[in-house]
Amino acid sequence: MREMEFKMERQGLLKEGDSVTVTEGVLPSNYYYTIDPALAMSGNYPFNQRMLARQGMVTQVIENDRGFYVMAQFDEG
């Protein structure tokens, strides 16, 4: 299992237990991932940490001073 953090700009777009699909974006030296349809975005990951799975599940939605964050698990086994 791989757990990843995504930044969500507005409250209520996702909730615990939601099934999510991600798309991969490529930068010159990193990958980033977006929960479709543009609900939340990950940070940048170096090439050696590329995610293989595209389907996952939301495990937690966190609200703090910086905004809303979604934790999602992906089965890469």
Q: What are the φ and ψ backbone dihedral angles of 67, each rounded to 5 degrees?
A: 130, -150
ω into 28 cis (within 30 of 0): no
DSSP one-letter code for 37: T
Q: What are the φ and ψ backbone dihedral angles of 3, each rounded to 5 degrees?
A: -110, 135
pLDDT digits (tens, 9 = 90+) for 2-51: 999 999 999 999 999 999 999 999 999 999 999 999 999 999 999 999 99
The closest of 32, 31, 24, 34 to 70, measured between CA atoms, is 34
Q: Note down the domain range covering 44.
A: 2-74
What's this model's pTM, rounded to 2 decimal places?
0.91
Residue 77 has pLDDT above 90, yes or no: no
**How many domains does the chain fold into?**
1
Q: How far apart are CA 18 and CA 35, in angstroms?
A: 11
